[in-house]
Every structure is written in structure tokens, then in C-alpha cells.
């Protein structure tokens, strides 16, 4: 994977790519909040050499730092589009985990005809009607919680809370340790991420996915109300939903073989 950078008004985004040819389908992997490009190591290793691959450290995350926190979810989608244009990629398939799935939906809202496919992994719908006013209120006020929570306890709950496997928990711990000694930055990343998510929901836009899509959710995903959201998302949109037995919020790290198989099946059906 080749490391590259993309300049934005708020800072420099670092991303990694493996481009076979411009005629090859591109998979764009978008990690969740406070995770980085390593979240998709098992998927990158599996699909490398079969498809073009792009994965980033989201703005302000890991290597994409320093970064000013004056951007919203749509800025992230626009910068992602800028990276794709820079790499001359057309009709990518976006695979977004958690916050990455929200970025994918914002991208679909801005560029409805540019996606070949969309896969949500332990994410949820951006439409306003899925969330309560209380949930939006809470999302806007999370930064102080992360700032004042004892770091060791945060590290423990942050790793055990998102994954069920040893691999998934150890990986999440490694990604959280990027911010060891700088809890303020970690709290800013988390707080800002939840806030721009709430603001995107409040826009009350259609966020319609017009390309072939797939929802994936771990049966043991206890991050927020992810299970309830996915059940409703599937019921209202009829987008296929796959439940992952024994997996938590980072189901692609808990059950990588199963996720890779589902992705491969999805790709073969739409390409």
C-alpha cells in the first residue's frame, strides 16, 4: 500500500492506496470514530491484488494530524471525493464502519450517481426520523464525557465495548494508544465526531442510497442503539441486512473471514 496525502483547508489527510488499474473496481474503506486505517487490515490483506483499494486515517485521526476541528460531515465527504478525483477513481464501492458509514451516506447525498455500491458495517442511518430528540441532544454533548473519564477506564471500556475477539480488542487498544498522553485530543475527536453527526441528522436530508447496498451488523453490537437502528433501516428501505453471529461493533475485526465472504459475494453480484 502506498501512503499519500491530500491537502484540505483544515489540515492534511493521510491515506493508503493500492491501484491496479483505472479499469479495476475500487474499494474505499472508511474506519469508524477514533479508529484508523488499521481497522481494515484483514480486509485489505484479503482483497489486495483483486481490486483497487483506498483506506484513510479520517481527518484529525492518527496520521491525519494536526487538523482544525472546524469541518462537518459533508466536508469529509467532499475531501473523500477530492482524493478519488486525485486518484482518477470513478464509481467506487464505499465500505464504511460506524462513522465511516455515515461519511458514505453523506457522500451518497452529495454525489448520488458516483457510487457503484455501499456497504454499512455496524453503522446506522443518517435520516432524522430514526433518532430521538434526546439522542441528538446527547450526541452534541459527548466531549466533556471523554475528557473527564479516567483514561485507563476509557481504554478498557473502549476496547472491550467494541469487539468480542482478542484480535479486535487488541487492535482497538493499539489504535486508542495513539492518543495515550493526549486525552484532550481523543476527547476532541470523539466529541466533534458525534456533534457533526447530530448536525447532519438535523439537516433532515433524504440520504437516499441509490446504488446496490448491504447492511452488516454484529449480533453483540452494543454501541448505542446500533442493532435497533439496523433493524429499522432494513425494514424501511428493504436494503439486505446480514447479522454477524458473535461479533461486536467492529464486526470486521471480530469475524473477518465472514465479513470478507459477504463482501466478496456482494461484489460478485453487482459487478
| Contact in structure between 178 and 36 (CB atoms under 8 Å) | yes
Distance CA 130, CA 127 (A): 6
Give the chain's residues under pLDDT 70: none
Provide the pLDDT for residue 271. Answer: 84
**The predicted structure's pLDDT at residue 43:** 98
Element (H, E) at 103: helix 99-110
What is the distance between the alpha carbons of residues 243 and 234, in angstroms, rounded to a whole number? 11
Nearest residue to 120 via CA among 245, 35, 234, 223: 234
Instruction: Please report the domains of the chain, with CATH numbers, ordered by start residue.
Output: 2-126+207-270 (3.40.50.1820)
Distance CA 65, CA 6 (A): 12
Read off the pTM: 0.98
Whole-number pLDDT of residue 224: 79
* Count of Cβ atoms closer than 10 Å to residue 52 Cβ: 22
By C-alpha distance, which of 209, 201, 191, 215 is closest to 74?
Answer: 201
Contact criterion met (CB below 8 Å) for 183 and 147: yes
Amino acid at each position: 500500500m502506498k501512503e499519500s496525502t491530500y491537502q484540505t483547508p483544515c489540515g492534511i489527510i493521510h491515506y493508503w492506496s493500492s491501484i491496479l488499474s483505472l479499469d479495476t473496481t475500487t474499494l474505499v474503506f472508511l474506519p469508524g470514530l477514533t479508529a484508523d486505517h488499521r481497522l481494515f487490515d484483514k480486509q485489505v490483506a484479503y482483497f489486495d491484488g483483486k481490486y483497487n483499494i483506498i483506506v484513510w486515517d479520517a481527518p484529525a485521526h492518527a496520521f491525519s494530524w494536526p487538523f482544525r476541528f472546524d469541518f462537518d460531515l459533508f466536508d469529509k465527504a467532499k475531501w473523500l471525493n477530492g482524493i478519488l478525483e486525485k486518484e482518477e477513481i470513478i464509481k467506487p464501492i464505499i465500505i464504511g464502519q460506524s462513522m465511516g458509514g455515515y461519511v458514505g451516506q453523506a457522500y451518497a447525498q452529495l454525489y448520488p450517481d458516483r457510487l457503484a455500491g455501499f456497504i454499512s458495517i455496524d453503522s446506522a442511518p443518517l435520516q432524522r426520523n430514526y433518532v430521538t430528540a434526546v439522542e441528538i441532544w446527547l450526541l452534541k454533548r459527548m466531549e466533556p464525557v471523554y475528557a473527564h473519564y479516567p483514561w485507563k477506564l476509557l481504554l478498557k471500556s473502549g476496547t472491550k465495548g467494541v469487539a468480542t475477539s482478542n484480535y479486535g480488542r487488541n487492535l482497538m487498544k493499539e489504535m486508542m494508544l495513539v492518543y495515550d498522553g493526549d486525552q484532550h485530543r481523543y476527547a476532541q475527536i470523539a466529541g466533534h465526531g458525534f456533534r457533526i453527526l447530530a448536525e447532519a441528522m438535523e439537516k433532515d436530508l433524504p440520504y437516499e442510497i441509490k446504488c446496490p447496498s448491504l447492511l452488516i451488523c454484529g449480533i453483540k453490537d452494543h454501541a448505542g442503539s446500533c442493532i435497533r437502528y439496523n433493524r429499522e433501516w432494513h425494514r424501511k428501505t428493504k436494503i439486505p441486512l446480514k447479522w454477524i453471529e458473535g461479533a461486536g461493533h467492529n464486526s470486521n475485526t471480530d469475524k473477518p473471514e465472514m465479513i470478507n465472504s459477504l463482501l466478496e459475494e456482494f461484489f460478485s453480484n453487482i459487478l
